[in-house]
Amino acid sequence: MRILFMGTPDFAVASLEALVTNGYQVVGVVTQPDRPKGRGRQLMPPPVKEIAQKYELPVFQPEKVRQEEALAQLEELQPDLLVTAAYGQLLPQRLLDMPKFGSINVHASLLPKHRGGAPIHRAIINGDKQSGVTIMRMVQALDAGAMLSQVAIPIDERDTVGSLHDKLACAGAKLLLETIPKIADGSITETEQDESLVTYSPNISRDDERIDWTKSARAIYNQVRGLNPWPVSFTTSNGKIVKIWWVDLVDETTVSGKQPGTVLRTSKDSIEVQTGKGIVAIRELQPEGKRKMKAEELLRGQTIEAGYQFGDANE
């Protein structure tokens, strides 16, 4: 089977590599153009491009895949199936209709829940007990196509968006390999999504990253995990940004009478902070202009006394 693959970030790498190592003929890989990154703003290839080059696959990086020149190039490849995984652009109907077996997508959620660009982050932030992967038909609407296969993955209490991402990427690759043969022999069952159960997970904004200390300890705990290791939650201290990499739940009920964001006490390796309901202990943080460090390391060089305030008064 001649497969055209479209993907960009790390999540797509496992699926592409699974196709190649399991004998599928990947006739082309479409990914986003190289972008400047880091302090030097050097052009860096997306992860999928690096893997495609490793296997000497033809790579296409159109700025806009719906342009005539790009579409004509892809038509010349005569793919039997189009597989996408977090590609990052809306695809025109002409492209979706191109392969004889159609176009499918590896989506990191249990559709119809968490349609949109940040399903893994939102699943943890929302406190979901499970996530999963859905292989779906591509249509001209956001993640709305019929479902071909699905696998659920439990979310561990200590999962971060990073660890859950890796689990889902592997599960998606495995599910893709199980699904393609059924598409080829016509035995696949397609199930339309129940529109009454649809929820959306938009991309993470700067407001999503800011810790609102009036929220409960559980909500803040989920937020910090759901943004670790990227883009990382933050608060402020004396007008400066402090990234919060990890907190532990101390309790979920205590209301001390102190303003949310107030430090209640410190120990050798943690900074306990009052929330709107309950207490969290900061374990890893990154003051502005400094590297990520454990609370223990910060407290060896800086005294933080009870009453110290995180978060501006107007937050």
Residue type, 274: Q
**Which secondary-structure segment (H or E) carries 47?**
helix 47-54
User: What 3-state class would DSSP assign to 46?
Assistant: coil
**Which secondary-structure segment (H or E) carries 35?**
strand 35-37
How do 103-107 and 81-85 pair as beta strands?
parallel
The answer to the question of whether 9 is labelled as a binding residue is no
The answer to the question of whether 111 is labelled as a binding residue is yes
Residues 230, 161: contact at Cβ < 8 Å? yes
- Dihedral of CA atoms 20, 97, 120, 31 in degrees, nearest 10, equals 50
Is it true that the peptide bond before 229 is cis, omega within 30 degrees of 0? yes
User: What 3-state class would DSSP assign to 258?
Assistant: coil
The 10 Å CB-count burial string (b at 16+, else e) for 134-167 is bbbbbeeeebbbbbbbbeebebeeebbbebbbeb
The answer to the question of whether 112 is labelled as a binding residue is yes
Question: How far apart, in whole angstroms, are the C-alpha atoms of residue 59 and residue 29?
Answer: 5
Question: How far apart, in whole angstroms, are the C-alpha atoms of residue 47 and residue 53?
Answer: 10
Question: How far apart, in whole angstroms, are the C-alpha atoms of residue 117 and residue 201?
Answer: 6
Name the nearest CA neighbour of 293 among 315, 275, 271, 264.
271
Annotated binding site: 109-112
Annotated binding site for (6S)-5,6,7,8-tetrahydrofolate: 109-112
